[in-house]
């Protein structure tokens, strides 16, 4: 009888642990540290730590004053990204250095486990999360008060009738992957749509690339601009700057992007639909971003 009770207790404990793990919530960003110093020196130090920690720094930019974003990748990220059809969206993580209201610099980064689930990748990138913690430190996760479970992230929809991860924008089409890369690079070099290239990460042997882009204040529609959007929705004390940059994906001969109603919402899942600092304040963004990135991909604006 004692043995039977012990077995039943063990089984119950395992079930409770499984339930707890299934219900564990994830948040989009991690705050690594808050430091004093000038932006250039801190950014240089962060890059050094990332390189020493096993990451390749693929590019960086300042979307507006007081903010710098660094793109990183490594073999683990690229290998996991290559296991699923559109996992390439998660081939690079983003690290931000942002001046807070107190004048100090917040060092933060995208939570790899959150984004692995949001992009439906075959793997949770826990190893990469550990590498970022080791390289930069860790204070807390943020970006959502309660967070989202892995299950909800893998089937994320901000509101009813809003797009899922699978409802992607098709920006442009070319004859081959090589032509698509050449066309996108040419369009970005020419500043089409007021968009500039920040980085590009290619998946070896997959004919797939993710391109981080700066949607500048000179965007074809100002409502698409990085600064325009973040001025309105990134209002909390700890800044979600690592939401940026927006990405375009080249896959085969086609160029894609995530719809703004998904891509912005997945970074800011707690934003209300209406009111100040809400999605209503950037209601013009989805159409503006689609138009702007279509031009940046080498596509053509639809006639009115």
Token duo for residue 83: 């296991």
Per-domain residue ranges for the chain? 27-296
Furthest CA-CA distance within the chain: 78
- Over the chain (304 residues), what is each successive 10-residue block's mean pLDDT? 46 44 84 97 98 98 98 98 97 98 97 98 97 98 97 95 96 98 98 97 97 92 94 96 98 98 97 86 95 96 65
Token duo for residue 250: 């080249």
Contact (CB, 8 A) for 70 and 136? no
Question: What is the per-residue pLDDT for 221?
Answer: 83
- pLDDT tens-digit profile of 67-114? 999 999 999 999 999 999 999 999 999 999 999 999 999 999 999 999
Fold that domain 27-296 belongs to in CATH? TATA-Binding Protein (3.30.310)
Q: How far is CA 123 from CA 111, 156, 241, 290, in A?
A: 14, 17, 25, 30
- pLDDT tens-digit profile of 243-279? 999 999 999 999 999 999 999 999 999 999 887 888 8
d(CA 260, CA 287): 8
């Amino acid at each position: 009888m004692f043995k039977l009770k012990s077995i039943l207790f063990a089984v119950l404990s395992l079930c409770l642990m499984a339930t707890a793990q299934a219900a564990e919530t994830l948040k989009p960003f991690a705050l690594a540290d808050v430091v004093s110093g000038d932006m250039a020196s801190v950014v240089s130090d962060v890059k050094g730590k990332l390189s020493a920690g096993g990451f390749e720094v693929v590019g960086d930019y300042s979307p507006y004053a007081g903010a710098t974003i660094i793109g990183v990748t490594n073999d683990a990220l690229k290998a996991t990204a290559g296991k699923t059809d559109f996992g390439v969206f998660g081939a690079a993580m983003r690290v931000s250095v942002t001046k807070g209201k107190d004048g100090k610099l917040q060092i933060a980064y995208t939570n790899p486990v959150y984004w692995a689930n949001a992009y439906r990748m075959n793997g949770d990138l826990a190893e990469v999360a550990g590498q970022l913690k080791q390289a930069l430190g860790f204070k807390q996760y943020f970006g959502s008060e309660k967070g989202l479970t892995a299950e909800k992230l893998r089937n994320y929809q901000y509101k009813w009738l809003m797009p899922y991860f699978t409802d992607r924008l098709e920006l442009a089409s070319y004859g081959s992957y090589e032509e698509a890369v050449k066309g996108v690079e040419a369009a970005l070099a020419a500043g089409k749509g007021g968009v500039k290239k920040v980085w590009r990460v290619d998946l070896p042997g997959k004919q797939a690339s993710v391109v981080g882009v700066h949607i500048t204040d000179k965007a074809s529609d100002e409502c698409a601009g990085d600064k325009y959007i973040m001025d309105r929705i990134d209002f909390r004390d700890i800044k979600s700057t690592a939401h940026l940059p927006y990405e375009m994906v080249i896959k085969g001969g086609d160029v894609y992007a995530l719809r703004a109603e998904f891509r912005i919402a997945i970074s800011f899942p707690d934003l209300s639909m209406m009111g100040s600092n809400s999605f209503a304040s950037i209601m013009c963004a989805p159409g503006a971003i689609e138009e702007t990135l279509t031009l940046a991909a080498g596509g053509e604006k639809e006639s009115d």
